[in-house]
Amino acid sequence: MITMHRRSILKRRRGLSRISYIAVVLFVVVAAAFLFYGNKESCGNGVCGPGENCFVCAKDCGCADGERCSVKDRACARPTCGDGVCDAGECGVCAEDCGVLDCCGNGRCDVTIQENCVNCPSDCGGCSSQGTCGNRICEQGEDCANCPSDCGKCAPSTVCGDGVCGNGENCWDCPRDCKCGEGEYCSPEEKRCISPVCGNGRCEIFESSANCCIDCPCELDGTTCNNQTKLCETPPFKLGDDAVKQSVMDYFEKKSMKVENITLKQVRVWVKTGRVAEVKLQGESALKFVLVTEDKEVMELPFF
């Protein structure tokens, strides 16, 4: 009898302990949920009450201007360089949080680091077919040169192609921005615009034997450079015009050809130095060219 009585008492004690355990667990869960998430019914009532914070109830516990809700602390705080979060305004300033110029995606179109609708549409918006200067968006076709209000002012060391010859640019590496003036050329050695100087021993751009034979040798055979005039000149030809024409007439009469017209040209060298003559023969449409030397020798030219 005593043994049966003890067994019934133990069963009742075990039943009570189980009920107590379940009740305690439910109480702890409800309390923790309330403390952690707050009262759902109170979120949105305009009062940041117990258990509410900027993370679980931004409606009631919103942050002030210039602050953000810290995920770690679940409290409003001002951006701090080194907290591991790239906040607005830290991009390009706090490399520890944002990396080096890794700013696209922070919600701010930062023209100081050349963000625009082309390279960062998430911050600056998509590009339109034609940019509108003054809308605070650096759009396609706009840059620091043609729209500084949207794209920012050009840096002193400008980018080649912006129309400004800035520091570090020159006519050789960036001729689009650093153009030479009339009569100048860009020296590949000095990388600057210079004017050619006749007589410096170099045949420069814009110089030729026609205007500076001192630097650029005469190209036509039989011509010599006059150091005074700096022009190529033909040597004096002793045979007069009438004598040249008569020599041409005699030459073609011996070949039974009648000369209709003779036009005298310049002195040049072809085997020998002589005066060139353009000849129109009767009955022939093609012109002939001959070279008459000072000893009245006539040579037909194969070409002229």
pLDDT of residue 129: 52
- Per-residue pLDDT averaged across 209-226, rounded? 87
Give pLDDT, residue 29.
Answer: 58
In order of 163, 213, 266, 267, 271, the CA distances from 225 in angstroms are 43, 6, 16, 15, 21
CA distance 32 to 38: 9
Place 17 in a pLDDT band, splitting at 50, 70 and 90: low
Show the tokens assigned to 90. Answer: 């830290």
Residue 74 vs residue 22, higher pLDDT = 74
Q: Is 95 a residue whose pLDDT tops 80?
A: no
Same domain as 253, residue 223? no
> Count of CB atoms within 10 A of residue 270's CB?
16
Averaged pLDDT of the chain: 77
Q: Looking at the domain assignment, is residue 20 inside a domain?
A: no
The full length of the chain comes to: 304
- Tell me: do 211 and 245 sit in the same domain: no
pLDDT confidence band for 90 (50 / 70 / 90): low
Q: 63 pLDDT band (50/70/90 cuts)?
A: confident
Range(s) of the domain holding residue 212: 201-233
For residues 246 and 239, what is the distance between their CA atoms, to the nearest angstrom?
A: 11
- Residue 69 located in a structural domain: yes
Kindly compute the dihedral angle of the four CA atoms of residues 80, 82, 88, 94, in this order, to the nearest 10 degrees: 120
277 touches 242 (CB < 8 A): no
Find out whether 163 and 155 touch, Cβ atoms under 8 Å: no
Residue 44: inside a domain:
no
Structural domain includes residue 209: yes
Side-by-side strand order, sheet with 259-270: 259-270, 272-281, 288-293, 298-300
Domains contained in the chain, number:
3
Contact predicate 160/166, CB 8 Å: no
42-46, 248-252, 300-304: which is most confident: 248-252
Is residue 67 located within the same domain as residue 97? Answer: yes
Whether 262 is in a domain gets the answer: yes
Taking residue 247's Cβ as centre, other Cβ atoms within 10 Å add up to 20
- Degrees (nearest 5) of the Cα angle 106, 111, 117? 70
| Cα distance between residue 304 and residue 299, in whole Å | 12
Strand-pairing partners, residue 77, are 68
Amino acid at 289: F
By CB atoms closer than 10 A (0-12, 13-18, 19+), residue 42 is middle
Q: Are 64 and 56 in contact (CB under 8 A)?
A: no
- pLDDT confidence of residue 127: 62
Task: Express each pLDDT in 223-255 by its tens digit.
Answer: 889 989 998 887 788 889 999 999 999 999 999
pLDDT reported for residue 1:
45
Strand stretches in 137-295, DSSP E: 185-186, 193-194, 224-226, 231-233, 259-270, 272-281, 288-293
Give the containing element (helix H, strand E) for 18: helix 2-37
pLDDT on residue 118? 62
Alpha-carbon distance 191 to 176, whole Å?
Answer: 14
Say if residue 67's pLDDT is above 50.
yes
Q: pTM for the full model?
A: 0.33
Query: Does residue 96 form part of some domain?
Result: yes
* 261 pLDDT higher than 90: yes
Residue 298: what pLDDT?
Answer: 94
Tokens of 188: 């590949």
Strand (E) positions, 66-197?
68-69, 76-77, 185-186, 193-194
Whether residues 65 and 91 fall in one domain:
yes
Residue 9 resides in a domain: no
More confident residue, 248 or 154: 248
The encoded tokens of residue 113 equal: 């680091």
Specify if 67 maps to a domain. Answer: yes
Cα–Cα distance for residue pair 199/213, rounded to 1 Å: 9
3-class DSSP assignment, residue 168: coil
